[in-house]
């Protein structure tokens, strides 16, 4: 298998962008990534686009607006992990020799508030069971019941990520908040208050992947930034039986041993990349809500089961700590445009590995992990190295 | 009328329409033709009447998409003696009045009145004083 | 690269199925394919699901209902070619050694009548430009203006396919029609009458793909039917400039030399499979409308440019002719459940290659081609051999 | 008001707002920041006034999704002298009254009246007697 590298990254800021269409935002992100990679028209052989609500032919519209079509364009949906799924498909195909250079993009334009998901059947909506934040709240409550996590820890995750997001010009929220602010915001579903939940919003991100050593650069293009290696991009679905799984079943078994999809994906990603959680220097993980970040610490093996609160309390996962998590500010600062969020994480981590992350730079970062998980269930784990 | 056919029987006493797999002996809900745990096609329909124990709970304070009933309402997971954890509405909307592990009984509750004047019903769990039988 | 074979096929009849959900139909198709392949739980390493309107996590719901999750499940959208896109991804991954056995499914449940497509922007709908059959009609009118195709030929395609569909128990319409019936049906958009257009409907189809020679069969399972080789599965998008392209632009160039996506895909598929159009024994092609089948003859190289009417008139493309096209009855008989249609073609062609097609069997068929094209634009061409 | 801003000017005389690429010299419509044919970013806005020639045509007999105006209406593609083929409504709804190659002029036509009482307009092509200029 050939090694795969990230030759270029591009992003359209996450936020609220009025009349800018999904296509407009995707064009911005793809142009940025192509420019960095020195790749032009005819310089890539396939494109993969992650989107959950973009509609028919989302990737085609973006590439069509750029006059860059004719190759296979595949639009994939994997909920919050849509971008990871696109990345998995693209990197596998390059590793296998199917393509040399591939464009991967993620785009989304989501309405405000709780999203009406096509995931639920009409009767579930009618019965009040399509209450997405309530499922998050139940996971948070279980985490609190089975570990030392308290509501103060949930607030502390928000304070940490919002502080880190101040340094990210592509984030939607760039003001620090206090624990009092967080705990004083409206109660959505006990124990989750409004500011503990990320905002669905709008944005796009893109990367150009390339077989290491292949020359996809346009003649005359500059050398560009040092390439980052994509060491693993893994997607996994859920195993049956866990009632609070992101697959959102109506019932499950009295069985706490079901391995979550994040752990399934992480194990394979660590093996592919030849690293373990102890080798990581920086992580971007799914913080749809504050408890989800803490749960991710456990599921990714960043700490022992039940030790997420201790890891947070130690300061290790804050900027300046041993293993900063969500230096970009996370989804709590950036908001979550579903199809774009995973690639937004990858954009952040590539900047970190290149040493281009400015005020939020993790010094000497050489091994980075991106994690998304959501409806499906789908979990995506990506390992980047330099 | 039930919000969905094949989900529960109104009773009294009410019961959930669940599946029991002869292959792996697990229960599932709602009842399906194939076991969602082991893929066996030998599934029998069984009635689960509870009571169970509260496993985890919260409350919904704002109407989610497509919901026309009252808010707030309780929301949680109850463990039934058959080894099943079931997601459902709770009749108690104040989380502080419930504690994990407490007995819960099955109930059938109204959601809203539909366009043809019929009361739409769903299953829910209510605090009870009957201890669940051991598994 | 490893050879890929079709180890099992399954289908849920295409039609109107009331309360049966997308999940119900998908389960039927997947169970059928798994049973034929002798593959059970844990016997496949990935799943690809094609759907255009199934909503979030369509493939996960089907596999979740079967208790078969945990592996990567990827939901892809490529319009009428969604199933071809799923097949391309799955077969490429097997050929590259990434997986040994993969489930590929396509499912759809579409409302009656003209579909409201998320493809169009609201202003296009408001201006009456979201008139899907009108675009088909313009293509038909151009074909008539530039070749010997007449309205009688359009009717003849319908008569042929409906006659062939009589023998297909999975088709929605199973009664013969006359040219007078077709020309007497309501005029939708000149020259297309209602019966010249396929009906969007509901259905599912699935295949199990396997690396040739690998043993994915369950111990104790029977030998099953003789495997069919998947010699090529290619997806291509459109090149810019053609105003009547399936990418449905608002404008194009005065340039009739733009190669259509079907031809782009076919060229690569023929090369991969090592065959040419002259080697084919049976074809299933996109007959969204009667003119689309004739256009496909040209674009796939089944005849010279401008010679589609002659090919039809010769009887070559009817059952009993030299190269029967749409022996299943085509979409004109089966209806078109977008995500399922390509895999429905593959199911038909595998039956043909196995000699299991009953009254519609093409004697001695050894090389078969499946073709879908639609919104995106996406064109899928699949070559099967035995 | 126009059905979409940036699509056409009402005139008189009306005109389509198109893009002209300095890179490949092709025109495109609607105007975009990047050339959809060659990816160049050197696009100028130009006004295309026609007349053109009918390339292919039909008529829409039933209202498509989201359309609230009258049916039937003509629908077709007109070739403009700038080398562009443009999809649009035709003012003539009877296909037999039109023939490919005939001169067509640009028009602005009403679609419907919106919720605020404003007449919503779009571009369309009408049979004309002015021969298009040569390319
Ligand atoms: Zn079982
Ligand atoms: Zn240009």
Structure-token match 């309390």, residue found: A313
Residues C129, C176 within the same domain: yes
CA distance C199 to chain B (A): 29
A275 & A317 share domain: yes
What is the average pLDDT across B14-34? Answer: 97
Residue C298: its pLDDT value, please?
98
Supply the Cα-derived Rg of chain D in whole angstroms: 15
What's the token pair of residue A128? 């009040």
pLDDT band per the 50, 70, 90 thresholds, residue C291: very high
The region that residue C161 occupies, defined by phi over 0 for left and psi between -120 and 50 for alpha, beta otherwise, is alpha
Crossing angle of the two packed helices C151-165 and C290-299, in degrees rounded to 10: 90
Q: How many CA atoms lie within 13 A of B51 on its CB side?
A: 15
Mean pLDDT of B87-110: 97
- What are chain B's partners, defined as 3 or more CB pairs within 8 angstroms? A, C
User: Would the CB atoms of C56 and A119 count as touching at under 8 Å?
Assistant: yes
Which residue of A32, A41, A67, A103 is the best one to mutate when testing the D interface, meaning the one whose CB has the most D CBs within 10 A? A67
What pLDDT, on a 0 to 100 scale, did the predictor assign at position A112? 78
Per-residue pLDDT 10s for chain D (135 aa) are 999 999 999 989 999 999 999 999 999 999 999 999 999 999 999 999 999 999 999 999 999 999 999 999 999 999 999 999 999 999 999 999 999 999 999 999 999 998 899 999 999 999 998 888 766
Query: Which ranges of chain C does DSSP label H, i.e. alpha helix?
Result: 22-37, 58-65, 82-95, 122-126, 132-146, 151-165, 179-184, 261-273, 290-299, 308-313, 330-334, 338-354
How many whole angstroms separate alpha carbon C364 and alpha carbon C357? 11
Q: What are the tens digits of pLDDT across the range A14-42?
A: 999 998 999 999 999 999 999 999 999 99
Domain membership flag for residue D55: yes
Predicted confidence (pLDDT) at residue C221 exceeds the cutoff of 90? no
Tell me: pLDDT of C219 over 50. no
Distance (Å, whole) CA A13 – CA A26: 11
Q: Which ligand is nearest to the CA of A66?
A: 2
Helix (H), strand (E) at residue A134? helix A132-146
Residue A165, in any domain of the structure: yes
CB < 8 Å from B in window 209-268 of A: 240-241, 243-244, 249-254
If asked whether residues A274 and A359 sit together in one domain, one would say yes
The answer to whether A92 contacts C93, with C-beta atoms less than 8 Å apart, is: yes
List of chain C residues whose C-beta atoms are within 8 Å of the C-beta of residue B39: 40-41, 66-68
**CB atoms A123 and B77 under 8 Å:** no
| A162 burial level (CB within 10 Å; 0-12, 13-18, 19+) | buried
Chain D: residue whose CA lies nearest to A40? D39
CB D83 within 8 A of CB D52: no
Residue D1 lies in a domain: no
The answer to whether residue D2 is domain-embedded is: no
| CB distance C79 to C374 below 8 Å | yes
C179 at A interface, C-beta within 8 A: no
pLDDT at B133: 78
Question: Where would I find the H helices in chain D?
Answer: none
Q: Report the DSSP pairing between strands C46-50 and C73-77.
A: parallel
CB environment C220-257: b (16+ within 10 A), e (fewer):
eeeeebebbbbbbbbbbbbbbbbbbbbbbbbbbbbeee
Tokens representing C139? 């293509």
Instruction: Determine the Cα–Cα distance for residues B122 and B90; give it in Å rounded to an integer.
Output: 11
What value, to the nearest 5°, has the Cα angle with vertex A178 and ends A175 and A180? 140
* C-beta of residue D31 within 8 angstroms of C-beta of residue D19: yes
Contact B67 A131 (CB under 8 A): yes
Number of domains in chain D: 1
Residue D58, in any domain of the structure: yes
Whether A222 and A241 map to the same domain: the answer is no
Q: Which of B27, B64, B76 sits opposite A138 (nearest CB)?
A: B76
Residue B22 tokens read as 């002869």
Q: What is the pLDDT of residue B131?
A: 82
Is B1 part of a structural domain of the chain? Answer: no
Does A253 lie at the interface with C, CB-CB under 8 angstroms? no
DSSP code per residue over chain B: -BSSTTSEE--SSPEEEEEEETTT--EESS--SS-TTT--S-EEEEEE---EEEEEEEEE-SPPTT--S-SSEEEEEEEETTTEEEEEEES---GGG--TT-EEEEEEEEEEE-TTSPEEEEEEEEE-SSPPPP-
**Domain annotation covers residue C117:** no
Of A228-232, B73-77, C59-63, D110-114, where does mean pLDDT reach its minimum?
Answer: D110-114
Listed by number, the residues of chain C in 270-309 with a beta carbon closer than 8 Å to a beta carbon of chain D are none
Task: Flag whether pLDDT at A177 surpasses 90.
Answer: yes
Compute the CA torsion angle C338, C340, C346, C348 (nearest 10 deg).
-100
Same domain for C213 and C301: no
A79 and A147 co-located in one domain: no
**Residue of chain C whose Cα is closest to the Cα of A69:** C239
One domain for residues A142 and A216? no
Look up residue C97 and give its two tokens.
């050694």
Query: Which residues of A are known catalytic residues?
Result: 80
DSSP C84-144: HHHHHHHHHHHHTTS-SEEEEEEEEE--SSS---TTS-HHHHHTT---HHHHHHHHHHHHH
Report which of A332, A345, A360, A316 is spatially closest to residue A158, judged by C-alpha positions: A332
For residue A283, what are the β-bridge partners? A325, A369
Option in C132, C141, C186 nearest D58 (CB): C141
Residue A188 backbone phi and psi in degrees, to 5: -90, -60
In a shared domain, residues A133 and A216: no
Indicate if C224 and C240 belong to the same structural domain.
Answer: no
Burial (0-12, 13-18, 19+ Cβ within 10 Å), A356: exposed
- A/B interface, count of CB pairs below 8 Å: 121
In this complex, do A27 and D37 lie within 8 Å of one another by their Cβ atoms? no
Query: Are A209 and A250 contained in the same domain?
Result: no
D and C touch with 3+ CB pairs <8 Å, answer: yes
What is the token pair recorded at C159?
């008569």
| CA dihedral of residues A35, C376, C247, C22 (deg, nearest 10) | -160
Predicted confidence (pLDDT) at residue A116 exceeds the cutoff of 90: no
Relative orientation angle of helices A290-299 and A261-273, to the nearest 10 degrees: 50
* C242 is a domain residue: yes
Which CATH number covers residue A357?
Answer: 3.40.47.10
- CA B37 – CA C100 distance, rounded (Å): 23
Cβ distance of B34 and C40 shorter than 8 Å: no
Identify whether the C-beta of residue A151 lies closer than 8 Å to the C-beta of residue A96. no
Q: What is the per-residue pLDDT across C352-376, written as a single tens digit (0 to 9) for each? A: 999 999 999 999 999 999 999 999 9
Closest ligand (CA of C67): 1
Per-residue pLDDT band at A367 (split at 50, 70, 90): very high
CA distance C298 to C110: 30
Token readout for D128 is: 């004309």
Which of B68, B85, B89 is closest, CB to CB, to A252? B85
Cα(A58)–Cα(A76) distance, rounded to whole angstroms? 10
Question: Is 80 exceeded by the pLDDT of residue A321?
Answer: yes
Residues 6+ apart with CB under 8 A from C162: C173, C175, C176, C177, C329, C332, C333
Residues in A closer than 8 angstroms to C85, CB to CB, are 72, 74
Structural contact between residues C30 and C43, judged by C-beta atoms closer than 8 angstroms: no
Give domain status of residue A196, yes or no. no
Q: Are B36 and C40 within 8 A, CB to CB?
A: no
d(CA D58, CA D53): 15
pLDDT number for residue A222? 52
The answer to whether the CB atoms of A243 and B63 lie below 8 A apart is no
Residue A219 CA to chain centroid, in angstroms? 33
In this complex, the chains that touch C, judged by 3 or more CB pairs closer than 8 A, are A, B, D
Q: Give contacts of A 218-247 with C, CB under 8 A.
A: 234-240, 247
**Beta strand residue intervals within A194-267, DSSP E:** 202-211, 228-237, 251-253
Domain membership of residue C239 as a residue range? 122-191+231-385
User: Does residue A329 sit within a domain?
Assistant: yes
| Domain span holding position B40 | 8-127
- Other Cβ atoms closer than 10 A to D45: 10
* Contact residues, chain C, for A83 at CB < 8 Å: none
Q: Which residues of C81-90 are buried (b: 16+ CB within 10 A; e: fewer)?
A: bbbbbbbbbb
Phi, psi angle pair for A380, to nearest 5°:
-120, 130
What is the C-alpha to C-alpha distance for residues C162 and D96, in angstroms, rounded to an integer?
29
Mean pLDDT on A343-367: 97
Nearest to A77 by CA among C50, C67, D75: C50
C91-105 tens-digit pLDDT? 999 999 999 999 999
Question: Is the Cβ–Cβ distance between A132 and A115 less than 8 Å?
Answer: yes
pLDDT at residue number B135: 59
- Residue corresponding to tokens 């989201």: D66
- Per-residue model confidence (pLDDT) at position A218: 44
Cross-strand bridge partners of residue D87: D77
C58: nearest Cα among C18, C27, C96: C27
D118 touches chain C (CB under 8 A): no
What is the C-alpha to C-alpha distance for residues C78 and C48, in angstroms, rounded to an integer? Answer: 12
In a shared domain, residues A161 and A216: no
pLDDT computed for residue C116 by the predictor: 75
Q: What is the pLDDT of residues A134-162, one digit of tens each?
A: 999 999 999 999 999 999 999 999 999 99
Q: Does A40 touch chain D (CB under 8 A)?
A: yes
**CA-based end-to-end distance of chain B:** 32
Convert the pLDDT of each residue in C126-180 to its tens digit.
999 999 999 999 999 999 999 999 999 999 999 999 999 999 999 999 999 999 9
What is the distance in A from the centroid of ligand 2 to the CA of A64?
13
Q: C102 is written with which tokens? A: 């993969």
- Given pLDDT bands bounded at 50, 70 and 90, which one contains residue A220? very low
**pLDDT (average), residues B106-117:** 94
SS (H, E, C) C44-84: CCEEEEECCCCCCCHHHHHHHHCCCCCCCEEEEECHHHHHH
Catalytic residue, chosen from C49, C80, C189, C303, is: C80
Average pLDDT, integer, range C171-193: 98
Question: Which residue of A122, A133, A141 is in closest CB contact with B66?
Answer: A122
B28 Cα–ligand 1 center, Å = 9
CA of B41 to the centre of ligand 1 (A): 8
User: Residues C175, C216: one domain?
Assistant: no
* C217 pLDDT higher than 60: no
Contact call for residues A331 and A287 (beta carbons, < 8 A): yes
What does the alpha-carbon distance between residue A210 and residue A90 come to, in Å, rounded to a whole number? 9
- A and D make contact (3+ CB pairs below 8 Å): yes
What pLDDT is attached to residue A63? Answer: 98
Specify the 3-state DSSP secondary structure of A192.
Answer: strand
Number of independent structural domains in chain C: 2
User: Does residue A123 belong to the interface with chain B, where contact is any CB pair within 8 Å?
Assistant: yes
């Amino acid at each position: 298998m050939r090694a795969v590298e990230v030759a270029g990254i591009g992003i359209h800021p996450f936020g609220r962008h009025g009349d800018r269409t999904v296509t407009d935002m995707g064009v911005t992100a793809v142009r940025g990534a192509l420019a960095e990679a020195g790749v032009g028209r005819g310089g890539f052989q396939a494109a993969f686009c992650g989107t959950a609500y973009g509609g028919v032919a989302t990737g085609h519209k973006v590439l069509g607006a750029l006059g860059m079509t004719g190759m296979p364009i595949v639009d994939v949906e994997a909920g919050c992990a849509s971008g990871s799924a696109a990345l998995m498909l693209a990197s596998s195909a390059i590793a296998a020799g199917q393509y040399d250079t591939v464009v991967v993009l993620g785009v989304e334009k989501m309405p405000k508030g709780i999203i009406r998901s096509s995931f639920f059947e009409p009767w579930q909506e009618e019965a009040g069971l399509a209450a997405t934040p309530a499922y998050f709240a139940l996971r948070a409550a279980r985490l609190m019941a089975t570990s030392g996590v308290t509501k103060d820890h949930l607030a502390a995750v928000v304070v940490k990520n919002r502080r880190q997001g101040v340094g990210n010009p592509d984030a939607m929220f760039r003001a620090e908040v206090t624990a009092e602010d967080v705990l004083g915001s409206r109660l959505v579903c006990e124990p989750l208050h409004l500011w503990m939940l990320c905002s669905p919003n709008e944005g796009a991100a893109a990367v150009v992947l390339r077989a290491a050593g292949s020359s996809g650069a346009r003649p005359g293009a500059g050398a560009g930034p040092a390439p980052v290696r994509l060491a693993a991009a893994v997607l996994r679905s859920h195993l049956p039986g866990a009632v609070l799984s992101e697959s959102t079943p109506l019932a499950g078994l009295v069985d706490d041993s079901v391995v979550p999809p994040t752990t399934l994906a992480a194990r394979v990603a660590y093996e592919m990349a030849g690293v373990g959680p102890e080798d990581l220097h920086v992580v971007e993980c799914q913080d749809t809500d504050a408890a989800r970040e803490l749960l991710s610490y456990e599921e990714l093996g960043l700490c022992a089961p039940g030790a997420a609160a201790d890891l947070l309390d130690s300061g290790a996962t804050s900027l300046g700590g041993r293993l900063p998590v969500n230096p970009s500010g996370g989804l709590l600062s950036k908001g979550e445009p579903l199809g774009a969020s995973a690639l937004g994480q990858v954009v952040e981590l590539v900047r970190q590995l290149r040493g281009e992350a400015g005020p939020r730079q993790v010094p000497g970062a050489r091994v980075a992990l991106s994690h998304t998980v959501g409806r499906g269930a789908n979990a995506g784990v990506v390992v980047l190295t330099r | 009328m039930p919000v969905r056919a094949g989900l529960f029987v109104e009773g009294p006493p009410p019961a959930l329409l669940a599946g029991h797999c002869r292959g792996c002996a697990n229960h599932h809900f709602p009842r399906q033709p194939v076991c969602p745990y082991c893929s066996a096609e030998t599934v029998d329909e069984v009635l689960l009447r509870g009571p169970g124990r509260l496993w985890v709970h919260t409350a919904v304070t704002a109407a989610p998409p497509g919901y026309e009933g009252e808010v707030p309402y309780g929301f949680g997971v109850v463990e039934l003696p058959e080894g099943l954890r079931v997601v459902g509405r709770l009749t108690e909307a104040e989380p502080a009045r419930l504690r994990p592990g407490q007995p819960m009984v099955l109930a059938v509750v109204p959601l809203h009145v539909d366009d043809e004047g019929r009361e739409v019903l769903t299953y829910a769990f209510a605090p009870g004083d009957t201890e669940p039988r051991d598994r």
